[in-house]
């Protein structure tokens, strides 16, 4: 969309080549720096999945439009803040995608009012969102 608007602007106004180069470099850096929330979560979980997290939590601060992801294992507790809101869907899909890449296919084995359980013979993930307080917890057990 940005590129389309820029192309339309170029049709209306002739920029010198140096200015075009600066605009192209700026757009490239902007697009490279913008990762989807899903990818941010997936890459973060993949980085720490070998520590076998037992609880992964998303905390939203809607007033500040920030997110915090906490990864707990038996030995460590790590916390990461992001300057944008990560949706519950992006968080859940990012975590599930990371676990699928490492542990294989996950089946939905249970669902309650708020929770869903995904598991296979190696791992079980219990997804428990609490939207009213802006917290999404995922409890992980390893077989």
Single out the residue of 44, 137, 128, 53 nearest to residue 94, CA to CA: 44
Query: What's the pLDDT band for 35 if we cut at 50, 70, 90?
Result: low
Q: Quick check: 20 pLDDT over 70?
A: no
How far is 40 from 71, CA to CA, in rounded Å? Answer: 14
Q: Are 106 and 122 in contact (CB under 8 A)?
A: no
Domain ranges of the chain: 2-33, 37-142
Q: Residue 21 gets which letter from DSSP?
A: H
The CATH class for the domain spanning 37-142 reads alpha beta
Rounded to the nearest integer, the mean pLDDT of the chain is 81
Q: Quick check: 14 pLDDT over 90?
A: no
The pTM of the full predicted model, rounded to 2 decimals, is 0.74
- For position 34, what pLDDT does the model report? 46
How far is 74 from 51, CA to CA, in rounded Å? Answer: 9
What confidence tens digit (pLDDT) does each residue in 110-124 have? 777 678 999 999 999
Across the beta sheet with 55-61, the strand order is 77-82, 66-72, 55-61, 135-142, 123-130, 116-119, 107-111
What confidence tens digit (pLDDT) does each residue in 47-77 have? 999 999 999 999 998 778 899 999 999 999 9
């Amino acid at each position: 969309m940005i590129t389309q608007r820029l192309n339309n602007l170029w049709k209306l106004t002739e920029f010198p080549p140096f200015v075009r180069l600066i605009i192209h470099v700026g757009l490239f850096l902007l697009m490279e720096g913008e990762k989807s929330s899903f990818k941010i979560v997936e890459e973060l979980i993949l980085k720490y999945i070998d520590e076998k997290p037992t609880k992964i939590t998303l905390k939203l601060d809607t007033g500040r439009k920030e997110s915090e992801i906490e990864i707990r294992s038996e030995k460590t507790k790590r916390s990461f803040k992001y300057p944008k809101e990560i949706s519950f869907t992006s968080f859940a899909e990012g975590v599930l995608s990371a676990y699928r890449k490492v542990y294989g296919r996950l089946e939905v084995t249970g669902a309650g009012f708020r929770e869903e359980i995904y598991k296979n013979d190696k791992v079980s993930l219990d997804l428990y969102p609490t939207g009213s307080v802006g917290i999404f917890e995922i409890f992980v057990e390893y077989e």
